[in-house]
């Protein structure tokens, strides 16, 4: 990948390389939260993954498979032949190849000159997914004939349903038709969820051409042919739209009505040029960029680029239009993790939205409210009470959708069972924690009263039923779980799980007492639902007896009951290798389970999220103990380490983690993003900057602002929303200045254990 310090809004690939297809498809993916699409080339290649997804349109391929986001028939493809020669960059000479994404307006541009025998043609492809008209996507080709003679051009373009999710075909073919003589329409339906799709495509040329429609199995193309005189060029535009019967912005979900809406919209924009449509979309992006811009003065220009890269993708993937869906672990940029949402949302991405786009954050937490039924279903099927959130979530009401079988074990050759859906239970307290953070940061009382309390109480109710009594110790334990470190399966008393469950229960006890004393109406409503006095009794009988693993004599909080007695392996060689699975070329999961090898921040994440439970000394000791045993094989790990080490004053090490974290997707390793970009890691980039170096934190419902910049940074500007106020921070190594409009209410915050009040502007030395 190529980055240019003169253009900190651009990521670029220079020179065509088929090895890089997966990488550029994902890191340059386009999207608007409603739909997302990988940036595959117009012409096809072996090894490409040509994906387009519409958020929330889950389907299961057959009864034995969990739901996934179906790969929608492709609308970007264009096949060319010139004087009978099929066009492909796999042959001929390619000059000046550049594929670049402009993060500012979400436009992808691909330019090159292709020479083959007597042919010499110049291509300029441009495309974008509209940010303001969510159903629409546009592409434009300016093709110039640089050959010495006229060239006969043939082009085949339309909608191609011969795509799948790694072989799983999610659509029945459906009707096809030509509307108003020029709009190609395909109407596939998902096989089980029966979601009706309507895809429409229109082509526009600036010269007269001859055309012939061609419908095939799962496809509808137009064949065009024309002569391109030597030295002349042609402009070819392709406009497309995707609607579905799941859309919340159309009232009538009958097929004929959706078709009509789709065609109508294309008619309406007929007068607008590609440029005009792009500038409308750019304007929508501008609104995002102008909200709390982050400016970093750093010795390394990629730091600035990284935050733009992260924000771009977060907004390309977040379904800001609909609370019935959430953000998949790979966003809408790949088939990895099937479009499912994980704790990645609450712990890694939600903070960004809480602090900068509370309207989007609200949708994300409301999704969890809508998920209560699914969570009840999961709890009940496991013999528990309350709400047990699914480890992987798709449609909110579906409950658990984690697949049961994964990759083959290198020792036994058998498929490995994926236990997360059964026993990775910390997701339930993560959801509760996320909801509480949302409420604290935004001050959204309405959500708190109408939805938040229920989530918090129902999750605490789950934990109360989940705890297991140990007669010998007179304590409640949580046995047979997976903590954040997924390399340890079936462990007892994972510290992260026990501490966060304890927080969930203890907080709800306080909450119920508060409601009873001061909000009688709310109390009565929730009492009718949860029988609060009985619940209080249950919770209080257990809360002080929840086993919270204590530090050893060396100050180490055990990750679980058995971790510290396991064998230690020197991990340096695996940590230095590029891929995330090098360890598994030599060991299987069972063997890794028997060693002190941690996949990702576990105890250390606990220390970051619940920082006031542990003192600095303890954090330092645990950091030094666990980090060398952590492979960072999950993209959720490095940002936690970067922030915690910044908190601990290890800024040099922190900045090293920061660099590794931004390289997860932006780095040179070609294969890292093939299955899609790492959504949680993008949230992590924002957190490393604003939480880590900007020093912002919400601890125990109190805001703290304590910047500390790495030595490579001389200045940092950022901003955030806090309880309805917009705060801007400008920090260097010696002081910070906070500003907010003076017409709002005062903000209180902590800095070095001192409470400050911000009215309009305040400067504090660091
Ligand atoms: C990580 C999980 C994460 C999931 C989805 C896994 O590799 O271990 O913590 O939730 O990926 O990103």
Whether 531 has a binding-site annotation, put simply, is: no
Pocket test for ligand 1, best of 333, 342, 349 (most atoms within 8 A of CB): 342
State the distance from the centre of ligand 1 to the C-alpha of 467, rounded, in angstroms: 25
How far from the centroid of its chain's Cα atoms is residue 320's Cα? 13
- Integer angstrom CA distances of residue 152 from 42, 119, 145, 155, 228: 19, 10, 10, 10, 6
Whole-angstrom distance, CA of residue 580 vs CA of residue 634: 8
State the distance from the centre of ligand 1 to the C-alpha of 391, rounded, in angstroms: 10
Are 421 and 390 a contacting pair, CB within 8 Å? Answer: yes
Whether 289 has a binding-site annotation, put simply, is: no
Q: Which two tokens stand for residue 554?
A: 């060396």
Average pLDDT over the chain, rounded to whole? 96
Helices (H), 519-602: 520-530, 532-543, 572-576, 589-593
Among protein residues, the one whose CA lies closest to atom 1 of ligand 1: 634
User: How much is the average pLDDT of 67-93?
Assistant: 98
- Determine how many CB atoms are found less than 10 A away from the CB of residue 269: 18
Task: Supply the pLDDT for residue 407.
Answer: 83
Whole-angstrom distance, CA of residue 150 vs CA of residue 139: 25
Please write the tens of the pLDDT for every residue from 504-527: 999 999 999 999 999 999 999 999
Whole-angstrom distance, CA of residue 7 vs CA of residue 464: 54
Among protein residues, the one whose CA lies closest to atom 6 of ligand 1: 634
Whether 264 has a binding-site annotation, put simply, is: no
Among protein residues, the one whose CA lies closest to atom 7 of ligand 1: 634
- End-to-end Cα spacing for the chain: 37
> What confidence category does residue 668 fall into, taking pLDDT thresholds of 50, 70 and 90?
confident
State the distance from the centre of ligand 1 to the C-alpha of 634, rounded, in angstroms: 6
State the distance from the centre of ligand 1 to the C-alpha of 418, rounded, in angstroms: 12
User: How much is the average pLDDT of 682-692?
Assistant: 98
Closest atom of ligand 1 to CA, residue 342: 10
Exposure string over 521-538, b if 16+ CB within 10 A, otherwise e: ebbebbbeebebeebbeb
User: How much is the average pLDDT of 282-292?
Assistant: 98
Name the percent of the chain lying above pLDDT 90. Answer: 93
Among 196, 188, 116, 127, smallest CA distance to 157 is for 127
Are 399 and 390 a contacting pair, CB within 8 Å? Answer: yes
Please write the tens of the pLDDT for every residue from 620-640: 999 999 999 999 999 999 999
Whole-angstrom distance, CA of residue 134 vs CA of residue 137: 8
Tokens 């993560």 label which residue?
A: 430
Whole-angstrom distance, CA of residue 284 vs CA of residue 10: 18
State the distance from the centre of ligand 1 to the C-alpha of 223, rounded, in angstroms: 45
Closest atom of ligand 1 to CA, residue 343: 10
Are 571 and 453 a contacting pair, CB within 8 Å? Answer: no
CA dihedral of residues 31, 33, 37, 39 (deg, nearest 10): 30
> What confidence category does residue 471 fall into, taking pLDDT thresholds of 50, 70 and 90?
very high
User: How much is the average pLDDT of 475-484?
Assistant: 98
Closest atom of ligand 1 to CA, residue 678: 12
Tokens 């050893």 label which residue?
A: 552
User: How much is the average pLDDT of 295-322?
Assistant: 98
Q: Is 656's pLDDT higher than 90?
A: yes
State the distance from the centre of ligand 1 to the C-alpha of 638, rounded, in angstroms: 13
- Beta-bridged to residue 226, according to DSSP, are 153
Task: Supply the pLDDT for residue 404.
Answer: 93
Q: Which two tokens stand for residue 432?
A: 């509760």
Strand bridging mode 233-244 / 219-228: unpaired
State the distance from the centre of ligand 1 to the C-alpha of 636, rounded, in angstroms: 7
Among protein residues, the one whose CA lies closest to atom 11 of ligand 1: 634
Strand bridging mode 405-408 / 415-417: antiparallel
Least confident of 229-238, 574-583, 738-747: 574-583
Strands (E), 167-232: 171-179, 183-190, 197-205, 210-216, 219-228
State the distance from the centre of ligand 1 to the C-alpha of 654, rounded, in angstroms: 22
- The helix/strand/coil state of 601 is coil
Are 603 and 559 a contacting pair, CB within 8 Å? Answer: yes
**Angle at Cα 686 formed by Cα 682 and Cα 691, nearest 5°?**
140
> What confidence category does residue 63 fall into, taking pLDDT thresholds of 50, 70 and 90?
confident
Catalytic member of 448, 486, 489, 706: 486
Q: At 274, give phi and psi (nearest 5°).
A: -55, -45
With a Cβ cut-off of 6 Å, ligand 1 is lined by 329, 337, 342-344, 484, 486, 599-600, 634, 636, 680
User: How much is the average pLDDT of 458-481?
Assistant: 98
The CATH class for the domain spanning 2-289 reads mainly beta
Q: Which two tokens stand for residue 382?
A: 């496991």
Whole-angstrom distance, CA of residue 674 vs CA of residue 665: 10
- Integer angstrom CA distances of residue 643 from 166, 572, 657, 691: 37, 22, 9, 7
Whole-angstrom distance, CA of residue 352 vs CA of residue 609: 15
Task: Supply the pLDDT for residue 412.
Answer: 87
Whole-angstrom distance, CA of residue 363 vs CA of residue 33: 12
Q: Which two tokens stand for residue 533?
A: 């006095």
Q: Provide the total of helices (H) and of strands (E) in the chain, helices listed first.
A: 21, 31
Name residues whose C-beta falls within 8 Å of residue 63's C-beta, 6 or more positions apart in sequence.
Answer: none
Q: Which two tokens stand for residue 342?
A: 């994980």
Q: Is 408's pLDDT higher than 90?
A: no
- Integer angstrom CA distances of residue 658 from 261, 285, 303, 622, 637: 47, 26, 9, 20, 11
For the chain, which residues make up each domain, given as ranges? 2-289, 295-665
Task: Supply the pLDDT for residue 555.
Answer: 97
User: How much is the average pLDDT of 381-405?
Assistant: 97
Its sign, for the CA torsion 511, 515, 516, 521, is negative
Whole-angstrom distance, CA of residue 85 vs CA of residue 116: 9
Closest atom of ligand 1 to CA, residue 599: 8
Closest atom of ligand 1 to CA, residue 484: 9
Closest atom of ligand 1 to CA, residue 679: 12
> What confidence category does residue 31 fall into, taking pLDDT thresholds of 50, 70 and 90?
very high
Among protein residues, the one whose CA lies closest to atom 12 of ligand 1: 329
Pocket test for ligand 1, best of 338, 344, 684 (most atoms within 8 A of CB): 344
Per the annotation, the verdict on 486 as an active-site residue is yes
Widest Cα–Cα separation across the chain: 91
Whole-angstrom distance, CA of residue 508 vs CA of residue 537: 12
- Model-level pTM? 0.97
State the distance from the centre of ligand 1 to the C-alpha of 683, rounded, in angstroms: 14
Please write the tens of the pLDDT for every residue from 550-607: 999 999 999 999 999 999 999 988 888 776 678 888 899 899 999 999 999 999 999 9
> What confidence category does residue 669 fall into, taking pLDDT thresholds of 50, 70 and 90?
confident
Exposure string over 283-303, b if 16+ CB within 10 A, otherwise e: ebbeebbeebebebebebebb
Topology (CATH level 3) of domain 295-665: Glycosyltransferase (1.50.10)
Closest atom of ligand 1 to CA, residue 634: 7
User: How much is the average pLDDT of 226-233?
Assistant: 98
Whole-angstrom distance, CA of residue 493 vs CA of residue 470: 12
Whole-angstrom distance, CA of residue 632 vs CA of residue 484: 12
Exposed / middle / buried, residue 258 (Cβ in 10 Å: 0-12, 13-18, 19+): buried
Whole-angstrom distance, CA of residue 114 vs CA of residue 292: 43
Q: Which two tokens stand for residue 66?
A: 């969990």
Q: What is the 3-state secondary structure (H, E, C) of 155-181?
A: EEEEEECCCCECCECCEEEEEEEEECC
Task: Supply the pLDDT for residue 231.
Answer: 98
Spell out the long-range contacts of 353-356 with Cβ–Cβ below 8 A and sequence spacing 24 or more: 353/314, 353/318, 354/437, 354/438, 354/441, 354/442, 355/292, 355/441, 355/690, 355/696, 355/720, 355/721, 355/722, 356/291, 356/292, 356/686, 356/719, 356/720, 356/721
Task: Supply the pLDDT for residue 299.
Answer: 98
Check residues 157 and 576 and name the one with the higher pLDDT: 157
Q: Which two tokens stand for residue 644?
A: 């915690």
Pocket test for ligand 1, best of 329, 403, 430 (most atoms within 8 A of CB): 329
Task: Supply the pLDDT for residue 696.
Answer: 98
Exposure string over 479-504, b if 16+ CB within 10 A, otherwise e: bebbbbbbbbbebbbbbbbbbbbbbb
Whether 665 has a binding-site annotation, put simply, is: no
Pocket test for ligand 1, best of 346, 486, 633 (most atoms within 8 A of CB): 486
| Helix %, strand %, coil % of the chain (to 5) | 35, 25, 35
State the distance from the centre of ligand 1 to the C-alpha of 285, rounded, in angstroms: 29
Whole-angstrom distance, CA of residue 364 vs CA of residue 97: 40
- 657 CB-side CA count, 13 A: 33
Look at phi and psi of residue 163 and say left if phi exceeds 0, alpha if psi is from -120 to 50, else beta.
beta
Closest atom of ligand 1 to CA, residue 337: 5
Task: Supply the pLDDT for residue 578.
Answer: 72
Pocket test for ligand 1, best of 327, 634, 682 (most atoms within 8 A of CB): 634
DSSP-assigned letter for residue 72: P
User: How much is the average pLDDT of 303-317?
Assistant: 98
Its sign, for the CA torsion 385, 389, 393, 395, is positive
């Amino acid at each position: 990948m190529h980055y240019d310090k003169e253009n900190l809004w651009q990521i670029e690939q220079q020179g065509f390389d088929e090895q890089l297809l997966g990488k550029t498809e994902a890191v340059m993916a386009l999207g608007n939260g409603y739909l997302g699409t990988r940036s595959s080339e117009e012409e096809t290649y072996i090894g490409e993954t040509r994906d387009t997804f519409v958020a929330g349109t889950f389907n299961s391929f057959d009864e034995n498979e969990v739901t996934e986001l179906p790969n929608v028939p492709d609308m970007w493809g264009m096949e060319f032949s010139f004087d009978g020669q099929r066009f492909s960059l796999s042959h001929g000479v390619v000059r000046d190849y550049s594929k670049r994404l402009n993060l500012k307006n979400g436009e992808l541009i691909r330019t090159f000159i292709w020479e083959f025998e007597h042919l010499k043609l110049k291509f300029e492809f441009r495309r974008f997914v509209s940010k303001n008209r969510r159903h629409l996507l546009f592409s434009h080709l300016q093709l110039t004939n640089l050959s010495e003679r006229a060239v006969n051009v043939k082009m085949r373009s339309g909608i191609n349903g011969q795509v799948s999710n790694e072989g799983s075909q999610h659509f029945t073919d459906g009707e096809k038709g030509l509307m108003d003589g020029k709009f190609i329409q395909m109407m596939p339906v998902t096989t089980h969820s029966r979601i009706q799709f309507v895809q429409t495509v229109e082509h526009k040329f600036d010269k007269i051409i001859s055309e012939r429609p061609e419908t095939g199995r799962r496809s509808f193309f137009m064949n065009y042919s024309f002569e391109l005189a030597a030295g002349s060029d042609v402009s070819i535009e392709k406009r497309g739209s995707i609607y579905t019967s799941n859309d919340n912005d159309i009232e009538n979900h009958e097929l004929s009505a959706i078709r009509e809406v789709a065609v109508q919209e294309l008619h309406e924009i007929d007068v607008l040029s590609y440029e005009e449509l792009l500038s409308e979309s750019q304007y929508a992006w501008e609104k995002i960029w102008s909200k709390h811009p982050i400016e970093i003065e750093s010795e390394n220009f990629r730091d600035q680029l990284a935050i733009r890269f992260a924000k771009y993708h977060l907004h390309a993937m977040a379904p800001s239009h609909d609370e019935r869906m959430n953000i998949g672990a790979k966003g809408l940029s790949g088939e990895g993790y099937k479009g499912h949402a994980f704790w990645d949302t609450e712990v890694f991405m939600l903070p960004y939205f809480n602090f900068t786009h509370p309207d989007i954050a609200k949708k994300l937490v409301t999704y969890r409210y809508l998920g209560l039924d699914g969570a009840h279903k999961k709890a009940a099927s496991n013999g528990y009470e309350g709400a047990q959130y699914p480890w992987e979530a798709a449609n909110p009401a579906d409950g658990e959708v984690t697949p049961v079988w994964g990759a083959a074990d290198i020792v036994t050759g058998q498929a490995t069972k994926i236990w997360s859906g059964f026993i990775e239970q910390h997701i339930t307290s993560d959801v509760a924690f996320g909801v509480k953070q949302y409420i604290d940061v935004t001050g959204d009382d309405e959500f708190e009263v109408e939805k938040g309390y229920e989530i918090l109480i129902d999750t605490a109710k789950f934990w109360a039923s989940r705890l297991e009594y140990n007669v010998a110790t007179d304590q409640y334990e949580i046995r047979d779980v997976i903590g954040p470190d997924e390399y340890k399966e079936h462990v007892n008393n994972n510290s992260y799980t026990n501490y966060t469950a304890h927080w969930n229960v203890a907080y709800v006890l306080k909450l119920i007492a508060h409601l009873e004393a001061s909000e009688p109406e709310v109390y009565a409503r929730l009492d009718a639902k949860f029988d609060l006095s009985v619940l209080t009794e249950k919770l209080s009988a257990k809360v002080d007896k929840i086993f919270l693993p204590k530090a050893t004599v060396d100050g180490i909080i055990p990750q679980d009951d058995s971790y510290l007695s396991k064998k230690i392996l020197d991990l340096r060689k695996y940590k230095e290798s590029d891929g995330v699975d090098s360890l598994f070329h030599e060991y299987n999961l069972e063997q890794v389970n028997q060693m002190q090898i941690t996949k990702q921040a576990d105890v250390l994440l606990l220390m970051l999220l619940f920082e006031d439970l542990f003192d600095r000394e303890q954090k330092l000791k645990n950091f030094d103990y666990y980090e060398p045993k952590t492979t960072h094989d999950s993209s959720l790990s490095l940002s936690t380490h970067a922030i915690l080490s910044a908190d601990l004053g290890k800024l040099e090490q922190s900045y090293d983690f920061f660099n590794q974290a931004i390289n997860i997707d932006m780095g040179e390793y070609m294969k890292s993003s093939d299955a899609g970009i790492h959504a949680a890691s993008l949230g992590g980039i924002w957190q490393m900057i604003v939480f880590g170096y900007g020093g912002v934190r919400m601890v125990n419902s109190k805001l703290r602002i304590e910047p500390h910049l790495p030595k490579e940074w001389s200045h940092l500007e950022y901003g955030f929303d806090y309880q309805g106020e917009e705060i801007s921070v400008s920090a260097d190594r010696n002081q910070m200045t906070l500003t907010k409009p003076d017409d709002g209410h005062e903000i209180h915050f902590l800095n070095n254990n001192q409470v400050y009040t911000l009215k309009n502007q305040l400067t504090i030395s660091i």
